[in-house]
Structure 1
Amino acid sequence: MSTAIKKQNGGEGAKSVVPRRPILVCGGAGFLGSHLCARLLAEGEPVLCVDNFCTSDPESVEHLLSHPNFELMRGDVMSLDEGQFGDVAAIFNLACAASPVLYQRNPLDTFFSSVRGVDTLLRVARRCGVKLFQASTSEIYGHPTVHPQSERYWGHVNTVGPRACYDEGKRCAETLCFIYRQEFGVAARIARIFNTYGPGMSLQDGRVVINFISQALSDAPLTVYGDGTQTRSFCYVDDLIDGIMRIMGAPEDFGGPVNIGNPAEIRVRELAERVIKLTGSRSRIQMRPLPVDDPPRRRPDISLAISALDWRPRTDLDAGLMMTIRDVQRRLRRGDMSLRGTKELSSAATPLAGVNAI
């Protein structure tokens, strides 16, 4: 069941200025999805944004509702009718909870959004003869036994752990993309997205960058799990969106999967110390037990992205953290706990600018 919240010609007297087939963005009200919608609109594309608002909020795209080429529809990717859409120009699928706190809350929904949902969207892509972008994840690699992780690495994943609903769902989605590409010629493009951060992320998301910033700004203890020596690599959201756009603009014979992330590796404790310094916080670091199946190291090998897409991240970690900190400060001052970021902080020519991966 889906419900149109705002039509493309919505708004008083507004008319679509680009009478073309819309680009379908599923999960378009999420952190990455809202940035992607803004980028597409800035490039003159009409956008049909579909989201069930399970882990997002309509306010995250409120700044886009007045745009004549933007349509927002409430719908669940698992129950979409492939025939309910007319012709679309392309499909971007980012529909799946990405934070462990959120995706473990409804594990069946998490799993089936990556299986039933992706199958439905691949059918739409086949019918319309268009490209489909599938947001996969670095969690494909699980507890990696090689470092850094390249696309040639098949991963080391626990199929019966608490994170399996997400990890295995995303692996199934990649398999579906491969089958539809081989059997039906669907141009499915896959990105394995590593940790991403930036303005506009929900303060209740539960992932490390936004947790640390929120805690530091309130002088609360920064929660570090384990001994803090586990590593992550953080990509600023503007850079990530640029990578997605390059994947969809790549030659027809390019399908991926391709790693999109920042190869600069940092220990979690060091990240906490850096956030404390940048915020001028009086917070201390509080150690907690490590969650089950939390990966010890995570760093992308982006050689393929560099060679095939001419893509690499451009934003320095401290610069990206400062833009994110300022965004959170402004939202806290106005009592805004929503997903919406602040336009004035954008380093790109879009209403949002850039975290953690989708």
Structure 2
Amino acid sequence: MKFTMHDNMGEKMTKLTGRYNIKRTLVTGGAGFLGSHLCDALIERGHEVLCVDNLFTGARRNIEHLLDHPRFEFMRHDVTFPLYVEVDEIYNLACPASPIHYQHDPVQTTKTSVMGAINMLGLAKRLKVPIFQASTSEVYGDPNTPLQHESYWGNVNPIGIRSCYDEGKRAAETLFMDYHRQHNLDIKIVRIFNTYGPRMHPQDGRVVSNFIVQALRNEPITIYGDGMQTRSFCFYSDLIRGFLALMDSDKSITGPCNIGNPNEFTMIDLAKLVLEITGSSSPLVFGPLPQDDPKQRRPDITMARDKLGWNPEIQLAEGLEKTVSYFAELLKTSYS
């Protein structure tokens, strides 16, 4: 006998089935910047969401608006340890993503990427459910090609100070592909290019948050190197649309798939735009370029366009205005 849900999404089905008639989704790293926005999108879709995070870089404030929602559950857990839950699909986003955070404990960063992937893949294999891996453009290292296509193998220093993150994510991709080939596991791999927006940590050391916080405080804006290195900035809402489109795609589309905005800006371009939006009088100051810092980032998004029908919609000026508003409010409160 089949039971169906009524309009009250919090209402449970009879114990004869023991399941909800809606998809139960696990999001690791769900209290982070991107993870929390993904939780929002999944709740909006009608999913039941199990958010797992050890709160090393994630924050309860990112998910506090969801804590009383009948279809949301938060579990504090480190993915380097096995997790035994029942879900219908998995998004694996657990890993510190900013240099300041992932270099704080590089051994733990590598363990999170590699052991976390092993534990989540093992869970997906046991449950026979699809699993999504949030990888990164950092797998391309300091590229020697102006446009990074998924077929490019990268130029990564395996023993540098960024290697814990770069190589950890590369190893995670290897594990995902091997589980797919060996166990026929339904996998999706996305390579995330620079993403920004509300809920970024104000002290994560990333260029967008650095520039905005410094500008709002009228402090000098710190540019590393000569400021001519480039990045391509994707607003969080566009990225989350890409996540969902990839997860919804045919099983044959495993990725890796670049998701990012291909419009390229120098660090000086970004600083000037932040100064214009904030009306700040902050001067620009220059410092040495950190070791292995990529000089260029620009995604080839042909695969995302052709196979997912995805394109970024929010351009940098519009996204920065929304992000500046978020940080302006944040700095009035706990980060004043």
Q: Same fold (TM over 0.5)?
A: yes
Q: Which residue of 2 aligns with 1:9?
A: none
Does 2:36 correspond to 1:37? no
Return the match for 1:56 from 45, 55, 58.
58
Q: CA deviation at 1:21?
A: 5.1
What runs of 5+ residues in structure 2 fail to find an aligned partner? 1-9, 14-19
Structure with the bigger RCO (C-alpha within 8 Å, sep 6+) is 1
- What is the CA–CA distance in structure 2 between the aligned matches of 1:114 and 1:16, rounded to whole Å? 35
CA deviation vs aligned residue, 1:219-247 (integer Å, no higher than 9, x gap): 10000000000000000000000000000
CA distance in 2, matches of 1:177, 1:265: 30
Alignment of 1:123-202 (within 5 A): 123-202=122-201
Structure 1 Cα separation of the partners of residues 235 and 29 of structure 2: 19
Q: For the residues of structure 2 that align with 1:256 and 1:138, how far apart are their CA atoms?
A: 13
- Measure the CA separation in 2 of the matches of 1:300 and 1:274: 22
Q: RMSD across aligned C-alpha pairs, in angstroms?
A: 1.3
Q: In structure 1, what is the equivalent of residue 93 of structure 2?
A: 94
Contact 2:215/2:274 (<8 A) preserved: yes
- The structural deviation recorded for 1:337 is 3.5
Matched residues, number:
321
Q: Could you say what secondary structure the match of 1:63 adopts?
A: coil
Letter in 2 for 1:112: K
Q: Which stretches of structure 1, 4 residues or longer, exceed 6 Å deviation after superposition?
A: none
In 2, the alpha carbon distance for the partners of 1:201 and 1:265 equals 21
1:217 aligns with 216
Shift of 1:20: 3.8
Q: Tell me the alpha carbon deviations over residues 44-88 of structure 1, each in whole angstroms, 9 at most, x when there is no partner.
A: 00000000001111221101001100000000000124xx212x1
**Alpha-carbon distance between aligned partners in 1 of 2:282 and 2:335, rounded to the nearest angstrom:** 21
Correspondence for 1:24: 26
| CA–CA separation in structure 1 for the residues paired with 2:23 and 2:282 | 51
- 1:15 shift after superposition: 5.1
2:57 is the alignment partner of 1:85:
no
The 5-angstrom pairing of residues 294-333 of structure 1 reads: 294-333=293-332
Asked if 1 retains the 8 angstrom alpha-carbon contact of 2:222 and 2:286, the reply is yes
Aligned equivalents of 2:21, 2:96: Cα separation in 1: 32
Q: Percent identity?
A: 50
1:90 maps to amino acid: E
- Counterpart code for 2:53: D
Amino acid at match of 2:82: L
SS in 2 for 1:238: helix
- 1:16 and 1:69 in contact (8 A); partners too: no
SS in structure 2 opposite 1:281? Answer: coil
In structure 2, the CA distance between the partners of 1:328 and 1:156, relative to structure 1 (3 Å rule), is: same
Q: Distance in 1 between matches of 2:12 and 2:56?
A: 29
* Structure 1 SS opposite 2:26: strand
| Secondary structure in structure 2 of the residue aligned to 1:39 | helix
